[in-house]
Amino acid sequence: MLARSAQGLYWMGRYLERAVHLSRMLRLQAEALVDRPTGEIYSGWRRIYRSLDREPPGGGLELAPSHDGTAPQFQQVRISSGQVQAQRRISDEYTLADSFTLADDLTFERSNPSSVWSCFALGRENARQMRHCISAEMWRSLNLTYLKLQRIRMLDIWLASPEGFYTETAEDIETFMGVASATMYRDEGWHFMQLGRFIERAQLASGLLLAQLELDERSNDHTESDWTTLLRVYHAQEAYMRTYGVETRPEQVVDLLVTDPMLPDSMRRALDAVSNALDAVGSGPDRAASAAANRMAGRLESAVLHEWADSDDKPQLLVQVADHSRQLHGLVNGVYFDY
């Protein structure tokens, strides 16, 4: 197929995968605002921004430590119970105001190329240019969600149910993927869309896991709710409990999300899909460059299938997976689009 068509479908898959991934994370972050401690709320925002390799608006998200050097909390002074309640209310108000700003940046900010709105709009624009390659049902499904996003702003969902909005947005994109699976012709276009989706998924998963491991290392501890959230992002909580029981251990969560062959959103299944898509589209005009892309995909699979079990440094192996995923994207771009 034409290189421009292949590129449009590849990027459509990437952008929509990014949008659904971010919608899932923001839904869980919005739920945390209801009853989680302030420190955990800010930790959740740091994890999202770190995984996207983006700075939040206004700079960092560090809370001022207490005078005794312990975890960020309210100032330790002798005050009346009424003053304590007032202080907590003020802190909660600042936390919600910060969360509103951060959620808006990640949801509707058009200058942020990784916001939900930007990713969905760019995915739809690629689909619009590739109308001859996708089904009418896919185009209709995309447009329904796009028109819905055009009519609302952050304040609208914040005053109602932000978690409901993110749930609905993720479900709309997943519905589109189901419609694509049911109606799209299985030619090269389908495989390029799959290639984009699953390279993006591998990059996002490695980035998110590394961000959480970095936060744990900085605090010299781990919070069980943080790792439970990661399981929920990837629809893996039930699978984890069946395999490991009710206690959430970081090393077991990482093993499950990376290597489980039956978990639909695991990194292993994503990398298997990447290899299958590359095999299906075949060699590009430059056979040597095509062979290099296939070797890089093989290295990614090997890191998860063979090196992972024997590795004593899983974070470093995740760094390697993230780096190889970026290199594979560059090779795919050179082999099929900008050769």
124 alpha carbon, distance to own chain's centre: 19
Domain count, the chain: 1
Question: Whole-angstrom Cα distance, residue 301 to residue 267?
Answer: 9
To the nearest whole percent, how much of the chain has pLDDT over 70? 88
Instruction: With beta carbons less than 8 A apart as the criterion, state whether 212 and 226 touch.
Output: yes
More confident call, 75 vs 210: 210
Name the residue range of residue 88's domain.
3-337
Question: 263: Cβ–Cβ under 8 A, 6 or more apart, which residues?
Answer: 234, 235, 236, 239, 256, 257, 269
Other beta carbons within 10 angstroms of residue 129's beta carbon come to 16
Question: Which pLDDT tens digit goes with each residue over 187-244?
Answer: 999 999 999 999 999 999 999 999 999 999 988 888 898 999 999 999 999 999 999 9
- Cα(216)–Cα(154) distance, rounded to whole angstroms? 31
Position 96 scores a pLDDT of 67
The token pair at 93 is 């108000």
Closest CA to 216 of 36, 34, 46: 46
Average pLDDT over residues 325-333: 97
Find the mean pLDDT for residues 24-39: 91
Determine which of 70-79, 154-163, 186-195, 241-250 has the lowest per-residue pLDDT on average. 70-79
pLDDT reported for residue 93? 55
User: Sorting pLDDT into bands at 50, 70 and 90, what band is 156?
Assistant: very high
* pLDDT band per the 50, 70, 90 thresholds, residue 35: confident
| Per-residue pLDDT, 60 | 64
Q: Which H or E run contains 48?
A: helix 38-52
Q: How far is CA 54 from the centre of its chain?
A: 13
Write down the pLDDT at residue 69. Answer: 41
Question: What are the Cα distances from residue 143, in Å, to 8, 100, 121, 139, 157?
Answer: 17, 27, 10, 6, 20
What are phi and psi for residue 3, nearest 5 degrees?
A: -60, -40
The DSSP call for residue 235 is: T
3-state secondary structure 161-182: CHHHHHHHHHHHHHHHHHHHHH
**What share of the chain has pLDDT > 90, as a percent?**
79
Instruction: Give the HSE-up count for residue 143: Cα atoms under 13 Å, Cβ half-sphere.
Output: 8
How high is the pLDDT of residue 34?
A: 86
Write the CA distances from 320 to 131, 215, 300, integer angstroms: 37, 19, 8
> What is the rounded CA–CA span in Å between residue 258 and residue 261?
9
Calpha distance 189→313 (Å, rounded): 38
Q: How far apart are CA 36 and CA 34, in angstroms?
A: 6
What are the tokens at 298? 């093989």
pLDDT above 80 (res 263) = yes
Residue 108 has pLDDT above 90, yes or no: yes
> Phi first, then psi: what are they for 53, rounded to 5°?
55, 45
**DSSP label at residue 56:** P
Looking at the predicted structure, is the pLDDT value of residue 288 above 50? yes
Q: What is the mean pLDDT of the chain?
A: 89
Q: What per-residue string of b and e applies to 272-309 under the rule 16 or more CB within 10 Å gives b? A: bbbbebbeebeebeeeebbebbbebbebbeebbeeebe
Please report which helix (H) or strand (E) contains residue 76, including its range.
none
